[in-house]
Amino acid sequence: MTPLPHNRDEAPSPQKHDAILGAALELFVERGFHGTAVPAVAERAGVGAGTIYRYFENKEALVNALYQKWKTALASRVLEGFPVDVAPREQFQTIWRRMSDFVLEHPRAFAFLELHHHASYLDAASHAIENNVVEFATEFVRRAQAAKALKAVSPAVLMAVVNGAFIGIVRGSWEGRLELSRENLAAAEQCCWDAIRY
């Protein structure tokens, strides 16, 4: 009957929630988790310092929410509607292109996810997402290896090489050593395929 029902027990405005995550992303990328003050996040988000604690239990919960949000986004981007019936070469290209699209659209999110060392504060839920992605990639590699499309090398090694190379390109762009252009990304893609192909 009322135009808009009052939210159940907590009534978080999604705008504030996102503003906080956005501010945290910027600051965590610049100065890292431990180097960023919660009141600084609040100020950048345009909310009161106390407000952050209505949306996140504490600073660690905030960084985990941020990690999960973007890791999930990246995973979805790569996995959703993944082409099952095409050749491994094309599948690989698809993965690479989707990651490229993601990094070009959300450079800070990718930098936060992959350029920082989160070991000391990520929780189980965060690790679980990463594990899902790894599982998917492992499956892809195994199938492609069975089809003699990829080198007969431990999947973990092939994945580390390709993922590391991709992150290396992004890192190079953050350090000003190269431009994060489609051209460079495509060149790197060819390199990485050559790296792992049979």
Enumerate binding residues for DNA (CB under 7 A).
6-13, 16, 36-40, 47-55, 58-60
Answer yes or no whether residue 120 interacts with its own copies by CB under 8 A: yes
- Torsion from C-alpha of 10, 122, 81, 151, nearest 10 degrees: 180
Q: Is 53 in the site for its own copies (CB under 8 A)?
A: no
Strands of 42-83 (E only): list them: none
133 binds, among DNA, its own copies, none (CB under 5 to 8 A by kind): none
Measured from the CB atom, the residue of 45 and 149 that comes closer to DNA is: 45
Per-residue interface string for the shown chain with its own copies, residues 135-174, x marking contact by CB under 8 A: ----------------x-xx-xxxxxxxxxxxxxx-xx-x
For its own copies (CB under 8 A), the number of binding residues is 44
Pick between residue 94 and residue 138 the one whose CB is nearest to its own copies: 138
CB 12 within 8 A of CB 55: yes
Minimum distance of its own copies from residue 16's CB (angstroms): 18
Q: How many CA atoms does the CB half-sphere of 9 hold within 13 Å?
A: 0
- Which 3-42 positions form the footprint of its own copies (CB under 8 A)? 30-35
> Which residue bears the tokens 């762009």?
173
CB of 102 closer than 8 Å to CB of 166: no
Least distance to DNA, CB of residue 110, Å: 23
Cβ partners under 8 Å of residue 149, min gap 6: 87, 88, 89, 197, 198
133 touching its own copies, by CB under 8 A: no
- 137 vs 26, 105, 111, 120, CA distance in Å? 29, 22, 20, 25
Residue numbers of the site for its own copies (CB under 8 A)? 30-35, 115-117, 119-120, 134, 151, 153-154, 156-169, 171-172, 174, 177-178, 184, 187-188, 190-192, 194-197
